[in-house]
Chain A
Amino acid sequence: MAATGNRSSNPAHNRTGQVTKAGLDDDAFDELFASSWLKLVRLASLLLPAATGQAEDVVQEAFTNLYVRWPQFSDAAGAAAYVTTSVVNGARSRQRFWRRHPSAPESDAIGGEALSPEDISISRTENRWVWEALQSLSRRQREVTVLRYWAEMTEGEIAETLGISTGSVKSNSARARLALSAKLRNQDG
Chain B
Amino acid sequence: MADDIDAELSRRISNVAREIRPNQPDPRAIRNATPIATTRSQLSRWAAPLAAAAAVGAVTTSTLLITHADRGEKSQPAAIKPVISQASTPIYSTPASVAPSKSATRPVEPPACNSAQLHASVDASRSGVVHGAGNVILLFQNTSSTACWFSGLPTLLATASDGSDHPLPFHKTADPGYANPSPAGGPGSLDPGKFGAMHLTMQIDGCTVPATTYTTLKIPLEHDQVVRLTFPPQLALSGCFGDQAPMGPIIQ
Interface residues of A (CB under 8 A from B): 1-5, 9-11, 26, 29-30, 33-34, 37-38, 41-43, 45-46, 52-57, 60-61, 63-65, 67-68, 85-86, 89-90, 92-94, 96-97, 99-101, 103-106, 120-124, 126-127, 130-131, 134, 145-146, 149-150, 152, 162-165, 177, 180-181, 184
Contact = CB atoms under 8 A, between A and B. Distances in A.
Contacts of A2: 63, 81, 83, 93, 95
B5 A4 contact: no
A26 B49 CA distance: 30
Contacts of A55: 20, 22
Contact of B102 (A30, A53, A149): A53
Contacts of B10: 149-150, 152
Contacts of A86: 175, 178
Nearest to A176: B9
Contacts of B93: 2
B208 interface: no
A123 B77 contact: no
B6 interface: yes
A64 B12 contact: no
B131 to A, nearest CB: 8
A41 to B, nearest CB: 5
B65 A3 contact: yes
Interface of B: 5-6, 8-10, 12-22, 24-25, 27-28, 30-36, 38, 62-63, 65, 73-77, 81, 83, 85, 93, 95, 98-99, 101-103, 105, 107, 131, 174-181, 185-186, 188, 249, 251
B103 A105 contact: yes
B34 A4 contact: no
Given A1-B63, A1-B85, A41 B73 contact: no
B209 to A, nearest CB: 21
B77 to A, nearest CB: 4
**Interface of A: prevailing SS:** helix
Contacts, number: 186
Nearest to B4: A181
A164 B103 contact: no
A63 B27 contact: yes
Contacts of A165: 131
A5 B157 CA distance: 40
A93 B176 contact: yes
Given A26-B31, A60-B30, A127-B19, A106 B177 contact: no
Contact of B177 (A3, A38, A89): A89
B163 to A, nearest CB: 35
A130 B177 contact: no
B202 to A, nearest CB: 16
Contacts of A127: 12, 15-16, 19
B22 A10 contact: no
Contacts of B18: 42
Nearest to B74: A61
Given A38-B24, A41-B20, A124 B15 contact: yes
Nearest to A188: B8
Given A30-B27, A127-B12, 10 more contacts: A9-B63, A10-B34, A11-B36, A45-B17, A46-B17, A89-B175, A92-B177, A93-B177, A106-B103, A149-B14
A177 B6 CA distance: 8
B38 to A, nearest CB: 7
